[in-house]
Amino acid sequence: MGNYLLISFLLLLCGITTAVTQLFNSYLTLPSSCPAPDPALNYRPIIGIVSHPGDGATGRLSNATNVSYIAASYVKFAEMAGARVIPLIYTEPPQVLNQKLNLVNGIIFTGGWAKDGLYFDVIKGFFQKILEKNNAGEHFPLLAICLGYELLTMIITNDNNILEEFSAASQASTVQFVENVNIEGTVFGRKNTRLPYKKVLKRFPPVLLKKMSIDCLVMQNHHFGISPERFQANKDLSSFFRVLTTSTDENNKVYVSTIQAQRYPIAAFQWHPEKNGFEWGSSRIPHSEDAIQVTTHVANYFISEARKSSNKPVAREVLDSLIYNYNLTYGGKAGKGYDEVYLFIPHSSSSSL
Ligand X SMILES: *[C@@H]1O[C@H](CO)[C@@H](O)[C@H](O)[C@H]1NC(C)=O
For residue 331, the minimal CB distance to ligand X (Å) is 10
Selected catalytic residue, list 52, 139, 146, 297? 146
Cα dihedral across residues 293, 295, 297, 299: positive or negative: negative
Is residue 59 involved in binding ligand X (CB under 6 A)?
yes
DSSP state of 332: G
In sequence order, what are the residues at sequence separation of 6 or more whose Cβ sits closer than 8 angstroms to the Cβ of residue 137?
none
Task: Please name which of 34, 40, 35, 79 lies closest in space to residue 312, comparing C-alpha atoms.
Answer: 40
Please give the full DSSP string across 206-225, using - where no structure is assigned: HHHHHHHTTS--EEEEEEEE
Q: Phi/psi zone of residue 213: left (φ > 0), alpha (ψ -120 to 50 degrees), beta?
A: alpha
Out of 8, 63, 135, 182, the only residue in the binding site for ligand X (CB under 6 A) is: 63
Pick the piece of the chain touching ligand X (CB under 6 A) from 19-27, 54-62, 163-171, 276-284: 54-62
For residue 124, the minimal CB distance to ligand X (Å) is 15
For residue 343, the minimal CB distance to ligand X (Å) is 9
Out of 62, 171, 258, 321, the only residue in the binding site for ligand X (CB under 6 A) is: 62
Is residue 352 involved in binding ligand X (CB under 6 A)?
no
Q: Is 276 exposed, middle or buried (0-12, 13-18, 19+ CB in 10 A)?
A: buried
If the CB atoms of residues 37 and 59 are measured against ligand X, the closer one turns out to be 59
For residue 353, the minimal CB distance to ligand X (Å) is 9
Pick the piece of the chain touching ligand X (CB under 6 A) from 10-18, 69-77, 208-216, 344-352: 344-352
For residue 65, the minimal CB distance to ligand X (Å) is 4
Count of residues touching ligand X (by CB under 6 A): 12
Is residue 346 involved in binding ligand X (CB under 6 A)?
yes
Q: Which of residues 96-135 bind ligand X (CB under 6 A)?
A: 118
Q: Which of residues 282-341 bind ligand X (CB under 6 A)?
A: 326-327
Q: What residue ranges in the chain does DSSP mark as E strands?
A: 46-50, 52-53, 68-71, 84-88, 107-109, 142-145, 164-173, 176-177, 218-225, 241-248, 254-261, 266-269, 328-330, 340-344
Selected catalytic residue, list 272, 287, 297, 347? 272
The verdict on whether 272 is a catalytic residue reads: yes
Exposure letters 10-20 (e unless 16+ CB within 10 A, then b): eeeeeeeeeee
If the CB atoms of residues 122 and 154 are measured against ligand X, the closer one turns out to be 122
If the CB atoms of residues 193 and 327 are measured against ligand X, the closer one turns out to be 327
If the CB atoms of residues 59 and 206 are measured against ligand X, the closer one turns out to be 59
For residue 301, the minimal CB distance to ligand X (Å) is 32
The verdict on whether 146 is a catalytic residue reads: yes
User: Do residues 213 and 129 make contact, with C-beta atoms less than 8 angstroms apart?
Assistant: no
Exposure letters 215-246 (e unless 16+ CB within 10 A, then b): bbbbbbbbebbbebebbeebeebeebbbbbbb
**Residues forming the active site:** 146, 272
* Residues lying near ligand X in the complex (CB under 6 A): 59, 61-63, 65-66, 118, 326-327, 346, 348-349
